[in-house]
Amino acid sequence: MVTRANLTAWLITMIAAGFIEVDTVAAATYMVGDGLGWTVPSNVSYYQSWAASKTFMVGDKLSFNWTGTHNVAEVSKAEYDNCTKVVSVLGSPGDIQLLKGGSHYYICTVDSHCELGQKLSITAGSSTAAPTSPSNSASSTAFDSKKSEIRVTHSGPP
């Protein structure tokens, strides 16, 4: 027999499960460049075209993966526009979690890679779900850059 108390408990459980599901769906991980990865593209607008097909939200992660000699640095818009060399903040493989909405700019500072199109600008929209913390990663470091606060997690060997 279903009692009112049992029905109420079931309803509360289903509502709570719905909120948990919304939180897990809210954050996405994007492999920058999809199959190409993070490298010097054959077309200088490749990464902008890639980003234009995505909707980035606070809490999402950008996964930069590459082989060879590359790096990734978050920079200001002026540094992005001019491909200004700065200190790199991430080695491959690594994830950058978007903790603030707004514009984010990334470049490779190796040689003329940025000038050849290895740069990415995105805009992260606000999210109602709080960003999730990285779990079980080999290392985790928080950075406060000029444009945003980012959390870098490295999941490969130290």
Query: Residue 144: its pLDDT value, please?
Result: 35
Rounded to whole angstroms, the Cα distance separating 119 from 137 reads 26
- What are residue 137's phi and psi, to 5 degrees? -95, 160
How far is it, in rounded angstroms, from Cα 89 to Cα 19?
34
First to last CA, the chain: 58
pLDDT at 149: 37
- What's residue 131's pLDDT? 46
| Superfamily (CATH H level) for 27-154 | Cupredoxins -  blue copper proteins (2.60.40.420)
pLDDT recorded at residue 5: 72
pLDDT at position 109, please? 93
| Contact present, 89 and 74 (Cβ < 8 Å) | yes
pLDDT by residue for the chain (158 residues), tens only, comes to 667 776 676 667 667 666 544 444 468 999 999 999 999 999 999 999 999 999 999 999 999 999 999 999 999 999 999 999 887 667 777 789 999 999 999 999 999 999 999 999 999 998 554 444 444 433 333 333 333 333 344 444 44
Domain ranges of the chain: 27-154
pLDDT of residue 7: 65
Task: Supply the pTM of this predicted model.
Answer: 0.65
